[in-house]
Structure 1
Amino acid sequence: NKGESCSNSQPCSNGAVDGTFVTGEAVIAGVELQLGHVFETGDIAWPISLAYTYSQAEASRDSTQSGVLDGDKLASVPENTMSLRLGAQVGARWDSYAVVKYIDSMCVKASCNRQASPFGETEDFVVIDLGSRYAFTETLSAFVKLENALDERAIVSRQPDGARPNKPRTALVGVEWMF
């Protein structure tokens, strides 16, 4: 059985904000793939990694109690997610990287595949993050990050109480001291 825990911050598919809501029997299956390699050219190492997940999450039996039908998509499970990370490492002190992430649209509530509402799903989107770090010593380093570098905007959730956007372009500069 697929159940949801209801709260004010995360209402259930039936709109309840407390207790639990059982949508019925469900099958959640998928495949995950992760590949990585480090190419070396002289003093520079070029790490690359790819992670991909395919998920199929749907009701496996009609539920008169919840209104969910066999084959209905479940809420909050994207069908595809992908992350590609490319890096450059110069010696032990300096590294930089770019990460491209893709997240597929997903149902806001169970059974969005039977509804024609434009608000039944989140939006799929691609985000690119960039970063660089320089180690002054083994315990002291400086970093710079640019998250969502292209300022891609998408609705990543519609609960609670309406649309929620992803994080906007964000720049971070800092020093890290490990002790």
Structure 2
Amino acid sequence: MRLFSTTTTATSIIKPPPLPFLSLPIRRSLLPLSNATTRFGGIRCRVNRAGDSAYSPLNSGSSFSDRPPTEMAPLFPGCDYQHWLIVMDKPGGEGATKQQMIDCYIQTLAKVLGSEEEAIKKIYNVSCERYFGFGCEIDEETSNKLEGLPGVLFVLPDSYVDPEYKDYGGKDLRLT
């Protein structure tokens, strides 16, 4: 990735694209998850700290709330804690084809669902370009099981791009 661009008059810094979890809501027509990750709903990240203990802002001991996320009002309309964005390291390594990446997404979800057939039914969008990951329709308990699996960076609740029409953006990419 080039960070600097030289012209005949000056040197300017080219900003890399924003990280999906820090972006403002933007509707894009890019194929599936890249659209979804730029506008995720609530935040539920677990960060591994020294000692390998899981940290969650909801379980940090602060007086914020002792209630689990599903009992709290959603941060954005359409955040139902049944649709999740699974953000991953680039699956399959450099040179992996789109199909190899999708196969990795299916295998990752199958680890918690028990079968690839069930995983295929639950995945509703994928991203194999700028950002890597997939959207899936699972309950919160199942989403918790994805945290810490190899290659999984974040497990985030998804929310509608358009709550009025219950639209998650992109194309509904059921893999079946």
TM over 0.5: no
Pick the structure with greater CA Rg. Answer: 1
Counting strand residues as a fraction of each chain, which structure ranks higher? 1
* Smaller-chain TM-score bracket: under 0.3
